[in-house]
Amino acid sequence: MAMVASPDDIVKSPLPPPPPPPPPPLPRSHKDDKAAYKYNPYSGDDGLDGIVLVLRAAAALLAFVAVALVASCRHGDWMEFTRYQEYRYLLGVAVVASLYSALQAARTFRRMRAATAYAATFLDFAGDQAVGYLLITASSAALPITIRMRSAVTTFKGRVFMTHATKAIYRLLLSDYVKVTKVSVEDMLFDEQDILRSMDKIEVIDFHQTLEVNGIRFWCYTAGHVLGAAMFMVDIAGVRILYTGDYSREEDRHLRAAEIPHFSPDICIIESTYGVQQHQPRHVREKRFTDVIHTTVSQGGRVLVPAFALGRAQELLLILDEYWANHPELHKIPIYYASPLAKKCMAVYQTYINSMNERIRNQFAQSNPFHFNHIDPLNSIDNFHDVGPSVVMASPSSLQSGLSRQLFDKWCTDKKNSCVIPGYVVEGTLAKTIINEPREVTLANGLTAPLHMQVHYISFSAHADFPQTSAFLDELRPPNVVLVHGEANEMSRLKQKLISQFDGANIKVVNPKNCQSVEMYFSSDKMAKTIGRLAEKVPEVGESVSGLLVKKGFTYQIMAPEDLRVYTQLSTANITQRIAVPYSGSFEVIKYKLKQIYESVESSTEDSDVPTLIVHERVKIRLDSESYVTLEWSSDPISDMVSDSVVAMVLNIGREGPKVVPVEEAVKTQEETERLAQKVVYALMVSLFGDVKVAEEGKLVITVDGQVAYLDGRRGDVECENASLKERIKTAFRRIQGAVRPIPLTSSS
C-alpha cells in the first residue's frame, strides 16, 4: 500500500472554515453509458470500433458519390438531376443513406471518446498522485508501473520513501515476477529496467526518523504486517494524518505488533480488510494448524499449504520447525518450502533480525532462528520424490498456477490428503473456491476431478480484525477516520459498527469509493517564533518588534537581518549605489540646504582634497568635479529615500541659478537658526491656543479655560494638571517640530 502526500492536500487557514462543498460527482453508472465502461481499445471485439467508424464515414460519402456516377453515366450531365425521375429517386436514397451512415459514425466516435475519457480519468488520477511524495508502507508492484506510465509522458519527478527492509524485499519480489511470468513482452506490466529505474527513485527511512520535504514532515511506526511494513504519520501545516497501510496489532512469532502513536492524529486512514470479522486467538489457530498436519501425516497423507512467499510463510515455517522439534515421532516426515523466492527472502529475514520482536532477537543471540533444522527447500517438482507423507508449503497462495497448483492437481483426489488455506484469499481464485468444498474442481489442464482432500481454512493473516481496529481507534480517538483497503460490504458494516461504538465522541467515519476525493477543512492560528537577537530581549506590551519574517514550509520565524545567514541557508548582500548628478554651483550651498532638511549633516575628513558631506551616516555626497557631485549609499528603503531627496534638491539648485542664496548667508550660525525656530513655534502655539506667554528659560505659559500648562520650547516637556490639555499641547508641539526643524533620522532608523 502507498500513500501520497502533497502540500495542497490539507487546507489551513486562520479564517473560519467555509461550508463543506457538495461531494464530487461519482463516475457514471453502467446504466448511464454502458459502452463507456465496456469499451477496451486493446480487446479484439471493441478494437473493431475504429474500423467501423471509418467504414461508416466512408459509406456516408460514397452513397452520394455513387448517385453522381450512375447519373453521369446515364445522361451525361448529373448536375441536372431534377430533370429526371430516377435522379430524384437516387438522390433521396443517397441522402437517407448518408444521414444514417453519418449518424452511426457519430455514435461510434462518441462511444470511443467516452470510453477514452473514462479510462483517462483513472490514468490521470494515478499520474497526478505519483507527482508528489510516495510513501510505501509495504512492497508495491504499482511503483514500477507508475514510473513507467509517467515516464512515457514526462519525467517522473516524485520522491519515493520506504524502509530499508521493504526496499530489499521489493527488489526480490518484483524481479521474481518478471522471471516467472509467462506472458509476452508486450503484455508485461513492467520489466527489469522499470524495476531498476524505480530502485533509483527509492529513498529509505528508519522507523521513528523524521524527514521534512518542502515543509511536509513525516515519520513511520512499526506496522506488524510483514518485515519492514510501516505506518506513516504525515504532518502538513500542523495537521497530522496517520496512514496505517496493512497492519496488525497482534505480536506473532517473529514480528512486533503495530505501534500506537503517543498522540491523536487529526485524520486516521486505516485498512478495513476484515471488516467486522474476528480472528481466532493465536494459540487456538496454531493448535488447529499443527493438529491438522499431525493427523494427516500420521494417516499417511500429504499436506499442502499454499502461502505467499513473504510474511506468513516465515511465520508458518517457524511454527512447523518448533513443532517438529518437540515431536520426535515426526522427524522422518519431511517438510519442504517450495519457493525460490521464499529462499531468497529468507536471507533478508536473517539480515534484519533487529527489526523483529524480542523473542527472535533473544534467540538470535544463540542461533539464527531462520536456519531451520527440519525444513528443506524444494526448487521444483522435478526434484520432489512424492513417496509417503510430507508437508509442502508452496506458492502462490491463490492456487492459480505454479508449484502449489501442480501439487493440488496431483493430490486433490486422495481423501487422506489435506490442504490448509492459511489466510485471506481473493475472490475468483481456486483457493477461494475450494474453501466452500465443492464436489469437483477444474484442473489446470481443463479437466474436472473430484475433490476428496480435506480443506481447512485457518487464518494466519497479518491484517487487523475488528477487535484490533476498534481498540486501535479507541486508543487514538482521531476526529476523522477514513476506511480503505477492503471489500465494499465489509467496509460498510465496519463503518456502521464504528459509528455505533463512538456515538457521541464526535468522530467522523467515511469509506470513500476508489478515486473519490474526501475533503476536510482545518483552521488554526499561524504562529511566528522570534529567534536570534530579537529573542534576547522580551518586548514590553504594545512595543513594536521589527525584523524579517521567514517562512519555511509551514513554519514562520521572525529574526534580525543579521541573523538570516545563521538560522537559514539564505545569505545577505549589501548593494552600494553610486550616482553622478550635474552641478556647477558652490558646495556650501548644498550643505546649507541639507541642514535645513536633515538634522545630521557632517563634513567628512576621509579625503581632505575632495569636499564630502555625510547625511545621517547613510548618504555620502562628494564634489568630484566642477561639473557634477557624486552620491554614494548602501541601498535600503530609508537611504534610498534620503538619496532621492538629495538628488532632487541638487537638481533644483541647478535650475534656480542666480536666485540661490549667497555663500555668506549660507553659513548662518546654529544659534540664529534656533532662535528663528523658537519664534515660529511661539507664533503657531498662539494661533492654536490663544493665551501664550514667554516665561523664563524659554518656557511657554499656555492658559486655556482657566487651566495653565507649562511647555519647554526646546525639549517639548509639558507640565499640566489637566491630562487632556497636556496631551493636546504635546501633540501640537510634536507636529510643529516636525514641520520647522530638520528631519531627525538616525543611522539605525
The C-alpha cell at 206 is 528508519
Q: Is 193 exposed, middle or buried (0-12, 13-18, 19+ CB in 10 A)?
A: exposed
| CA dihedral sign of residues 296, 302, 304, 305 | positive
Measured CA angle at 40 (ends 33, 428), to 5 deg: 95
3-state helix, strand, coil in the chain (%, to 5): 45, 20, 40
Q: Is 416 exposed, middle or buried (0-12, 13-18, 19+ CB in 10 A)?
A: middle
Neighbouring CB atoms inside 10 A of 242's CB total 24
Contact 314, 370 (CB under 8 A): yes
The C-alpha cell at 563 is 541573523
Task: Assess whether the previous peptide bond of 396 is cis (omega < 30° from 0).
Answer: yes
The C-alpha cell at 643 is 538619496
The C-alpha cell at 296 is 494427516
Neighbouring CB atoms inside 10 A of 231's CB total 29
Give CA separation, 281 vs 284, 311, 412, in Å.
Answer: 5, 19, 29
| Rounded Cα gap, residues 171 and 606, in angstroms | 72
Reduce the DSSP state of residue 507 to 3 states and report it: coil
190 closest CA partner among 148, 151, 248: 148
615 closest CA partner among 653, 650, 570, 564: 650
Contact 27, 36 (CB under 8 A): no
Question: Which positions are annotated as active-site residues?
Answer: 463
Which residues does residue 613 pair with via DSSP β-bridges, in sequence order? 603, 621
